[in-house]
Structure 1
Amino acid sequence: MAVTGSARLTTFIGLTTVLVIGAGLCVVVAVNRASARADAAPKVAVARVSSLEGAPHVVFRNTEIGSRYGLVSIVSLADPRGPRAFTDVACDRVYAAAGTASCLRTKRGLATTFKAVQLDAEWDEVESWGLPGIPSRTRVSADGTLLATTSFVTGHTYMQVGFSTATDIREVGGRDLGNLEQFRLVVDGRTVRPSDRNIWGVTFARDDDTFYATVATGGTTYLARGDLSARTLTTLRKGAECPSLSPDGSQIAFKHDVGGSAPYWQMVVLDLASGRAVTLDGETRNVDDQVEWLDDDSLLYGLPREGETGVSDIWRIRTTSGAKPSIFIEQAWSPSIVRSAGR
């Protein structure tokens, strides 16, 4: 019997309805799975914040996908892969020292905004201020009296051509010392005033006057020493980015672009007295981070986990050529070492 046009139309509509319903069910299942994953409880052992802060500990951003994703977290320095405590503070970047913490945060909405938040020893907000762009780096001085922030004014990464940064230093509870681009810049012994200067990645010395940072101008990056009272930046060495001063003040670790068609960074440790530099060639992955010193002989740094968007791990490596990295804290980012109670 011949199939009429009406029957064909009815069959087509029926098949289309089945396919649409099936597709809808797939979307519902996918959404439910994603929602369940986002709401999942931590798989790690959970501790109370107060139980870990009385002894040396590590402050970091939790990157385990679930209900505590992005929260500032704490583990014991003696047992970094042990129980984890969670604050109720969410940050993109965090750094803590001597009862003060700096938190850089993105607030998404119709108009995405960015801000820096100063927190006290109880993780309560003391002060906040707007950032001109995407949070990138932050540091607090060892005594908790100075705070530095870096954000991207344009661009999203140091691998992007044409990015621009804004880096600011503040006295905790006091003055804003201003954007470091306003400081007098001395390159190779001459005062220069380039329009293309970018400065990022501050690390503080213990005298609360000296600091180190990256200066980029004319397509070259430099390690620079800053002087807060004189408001100067003086370049020391080419090819250094995101410096981090060792606890004893004798060494600086930084990332160095080894060349190629795109930026590829290896870690280098520079002895300030002798000028001797050691490349940490045992780490063969691209390390785009401002490292933290675990002690005078070891570094910590974050790396994104391959194949798991949004998840990163903190790695450890000794500061000798050929040293191999090892996992320090899983599902974590932006570490700072706190050796005294109450930060």
Structure 2
Amino acid sequence: MQAALIHSYKQKELELTSVPIPDINSNDVLVKIIAASINPLDLRTMAGGLKMLLHYDMPLILGNDFAGEVVAVGSKVTQFKVGDEVFGRPRKDRIGTFAEYIAVNTEDIALKPKNLTFQEAAAIPLVGLTSYQALHDLMDLKPGKKVLIQAGSGGVGSIAIQIAKQLGAFVATTTSSKNVEFVKSLGADQIIDYHKENFANVLTDYDAVFDTLGDKNLEQSFKIVKPSGKIVSVSGLPDAKFGKSYGLPYWKQFLLKVATRNLSKLEKETQVQYNFLFMKPSGKQLSLLTEWIEKDQVRPIIDRVFDLNDINDALNYSRSGHAKGKIIININ
């Protein structure tokens, strides 16, 4: 099969090459991938930015979510059959969706929403699960609560706004002036043009912030969240609390504690809880998202579609930071 891979971290481009079709375990299915999507996680992995948390042997096929068709099932698989159309996010030690086939555990997939194309379905798994786990699992958003979702027109933000509205929250978001009407159409209640205003000078007394930007934007988020509120970040640094829950050795937990001492200081000063999110694959949660999608309450947002042969052009476009919604790769 054809696959896009790296031989070492900081490799400038993915190499398209032929590799064996993977074998499946008893609880796996083999999926012929029709479409995959690009996520910032792919770029961070490629650059070696996650070596503290993840160990990968080289060569490594990149890609973190997909939609496709089941072509073989393991001996213990009963919930899926050959011919099923599925979508999913493979677990972190089994990534590799920039390829024509993938072996994936059945717990990590769900039946594809009936009203979506494969390309549309491929836009959902990673950003949908990330948003749901941030807003529902960690923030426990309830009707009437106020949440700021950073970068509302991006791949994560555009789904997170819709999920937050399904949970009944009041949603503020940041975006550029050209995307104001777009994020409004997704359900955003208050929109801050970051070219003209600093959100930290506009918003107050918020219950939560979903940070997708990190750095100064993350630090300034502490200014707008009320005591006992929560900040969940997918772009900030993991802290020692995350390192312990993730099972990292003590020396790595110590390094994370040192690296995030400023965030810990802000937590104490503001009485706001900081959480770093490293999302977990979940076929069950994908099925919950499917219910909203099939009722047209949540919809995927696609910016551009590239063919697998043009994947490096797609990565460069992702690096530009100008995508509105997701970037999709046609595989088969």
Q: TM-score, normalised by structure 2?
A: 0.30
Q: Which one has the largest radius of gyration?
A: 1
Q: TM-score, normalised by structure 1?
A: 0.29
Higher helix proportion, which one? 2
Greater relative contact order (Cα 8 A, min sep 6): structure 1 or 2? 2
Higher strand proportion, which one? 1
